[in-house]
Structure 1
Amino acid sequence: MTTARRPDTGTVKPMRPLPHDFRDVFLRLGQTKEIEEHYRTNWRVIRRWIEEAGGDELRAERARVSGGFVRPYLRSSVARAYVLGKRIRLMSAPSFFDAEIMEDGK
């Protein structure tokens, strides 16, 4: 019987060692498509290299260099609040329009 081959995600069986200039290139480019094209690899290997090169300390240094956030949120605060359900208002007293809708629903 043969066992099914597990796909390599870039973290199980790392083939490519950390490049000697990775820290400098990461600080310059960040975790973007440009760094993937520079090293001709995928995002999973880049993620593994970030962890090998310092992890959160490297990300914090990149944030200081670029002036960005350590873990940027992709949504604006308004959209994030809406998705999380924080924009639902509590109705203390129904307005004229709300009362009309409630009467139609009976």
Structure 2
Amino acid sequence: MRHDPPKARKPDTGLVKPYRPKPNDFRETFIALGWECIEEHYQTNWRVIRRWIDMEGREDLIAARRAHVEAIWAERRLKRKRYVLGRTVTAVKIGHEEI
């Protein structure tokens, strides 16, 4: 008597889960939020986020994020130079005179 090995069960349609599609606003959201907040924003794991970044173009996306962060920091530097202890360092005009 010969025993054949059990045949592997073919997956039903409900067992195969397709990849989650990349959202249309992923690029803008990633540039604004960065890696730290994007997982929570889309409520997904890091593997899906990494796949979406690769689909979008990793180098271009990282360069755009870097430019965005540098612009934010440049704006903050200007504000820091202008204020000391909550007061404006630049001249304030009252009427026509400078103080």
Cα distance in 1 for partners of 2:33, 2:7 equals: 43
TM-score, length basis structure 2: 0.52
Alpha-carbon spacing, 1:25–1:2, altered in 2? closer, same or farther (3 Å)? farther
Deviation per CA, 1:2-49, whole angstroms, max 9, x where unpaired? 66xxxxxxxxx86101100000100001111x2111101001100110
Unaligned 5+ segments in structure 1 are 4-12, 68-106
Q: What corresponds to 1:20 in structure 2? A: 24
- Is 1:61 aligned with 2:56? no
Structure 2 residue ranges without an equivalent (≥5): 1-5, 9-16, 71-99
Paired with 1:15 and 1:36, the residues of 2 have a C-alpha distance of: 16
* Structure 1 stretches of 4+ moved >6 Å: none
What TM-score do you get using the length of structure 1 for normalisation? 0.49
Partner of 1:49: 52
Q: Using the alignment, how far apart are the partners of 1:55 and 1:14 within structure 2?
A: 22
Q: Name the one with the larger strand percent.
A: 2
After superposition, the C-alpha distances for 1:65-84 in whole angstroms (9 at most, x for unaligned) are 112xxxxxxxxxxxxxxxxx
- Going from structure 1 to structure 2, the CA distance change for 1:55 and 1:14 (only over 3 Å counts) comes to farther
RMSD over aligned CA atoms reads: 2.2
Aligned-residue sequence identity (percent) comes to 53
Instruction: State how 1:1-106 maps to structure 2 within 5 Å.
Output: 1=6, 15-32=19-36, 34-67=37-70
